[in-house]
Amino acid sequence: MTSDLESFIAGLPKAELHVHHVGSASPRVVAELAARHEGSTPVPADPERLAEFFTFRDFAHFIEVYVSVLNLIRDPEDLWQLFYGVGRDLAAQNARYVELTVTPYTHLINGFAPEQFCEIIEDARARVLRDHGLTFRWIFDIPGELGIPAAESTLRIALDQRPEGLIGFGLGGPEVGVPRKQFAPYFDAARAEGLHSLPHAGETTGPETVWEALRELKAERVGHGIGSAGDPALLEHLAENRIALEVCPTSNVCTRAVASLEEHPLPELVKAGVLVTVNSDDPPMFGTSLNKEYAVAAQLLGLDRAGIADLAGNAVRASFMDEAGKRTLLSEIAEYARL
């Protein structure tokens, strides 16, 4: 990619729809937390060793490492710094609006009270908007591998606390051995209270998991969804109904969901007319960033400046930003692309 296109991407106003709060902790923050908790964590306190620590054998190993980092968040200051740092880092890449996937259950079992957790993240959200002009919205997701207790707790904190920034209800974690259908009652209850259905599906499994998310969880957008490739009926359904996929190319390679970037199904999805957005997932863990993911997508799809701007527009259109906010950000993107 030319330096001209890289500069264009760096300055492009963007929305980010698929990024996890713990997985976005910068190496500096992770190393500092590991040093504070040295002796009780496998996470190295040396930033240079983190690159090796973040080399994943497979998706199961990724989950193991992710949980190790999660367990470094032990007090209110840790939590606040994590959320504020994610906002600061994304704003530095010209992200203007972010739907951040948050897994409250894992913090509740680590000792945070529901009210305390929501108060901390809402304070960080307000400070990020004030200091950096970035709007955060929350997607509270169920860690699927922890089953029904996690689903019940996630729904309860979402509906009982209902923090101002909350817009969606999600489902993450491993897909193999974790049927989507068992979580349907919890998604039904969340949707009845006005939350959007935004589960992961088709990250490490095939189209059947995406179909299950659509039919059982009434998914309005699908996290990853790359397993949709190869099923013409599913691709047609997604395209006709404008159900967006939140694609994270580098993540898929790092977790071994895809063998290489050259084999990534992103071009097939786009060719089928599916509304695709580009996102960073767990950027420091995968040695990437939102800007780098746009560069990767541009190479895979052969995009010029106009094509890259259109891709940024997809994320705005697929977001759950209010209509006035969408118009404003789309206008900013169009104006920037004309410069």
Active site residues: 203
Exposure of 7 in the CB half-sphere (CA atoms within 13 A): 4
Q: Which amino acid is at 64?
A: E
CB 114 within 8 Å of CB 106: no
Distance of CA 94 to the CA centre of its chain: 17
Quick one: 299 exposed, middle or buried, by C-beta within 10 A (0-12, 13-18, 19+)? middle
To which residue do tokens 């739907």 refer?
99
Cα 265 from chain centroid?
19
Strands (E), 180-320: 196-197, 200-201, 221-224, 244-247, 276-278
- For the record, the structure tokens of 195 come out as 């939350």
Tokens linked to 311: 């891709």
Bridge-based pairing of strands 14-20 and 135-143 is unpaired
DSSP of 248-266, one letter per residue?
-HHHHHHTTSSS-GGG-SH
Buried b (16+ CB within 10 A) or exposed e, 247-276: bbbbbbbbbebbeeeeebbbeebbebebbb
Q: Which two tokens stand for residue 48?
A: 């240079």
Phi, psi of 13 (to 5 degrees): -65, 140
Token readout for 143 is 């860690």
DSSP 8-state symbol, 321: -
Distance CA 143, CA 131 (A): 31
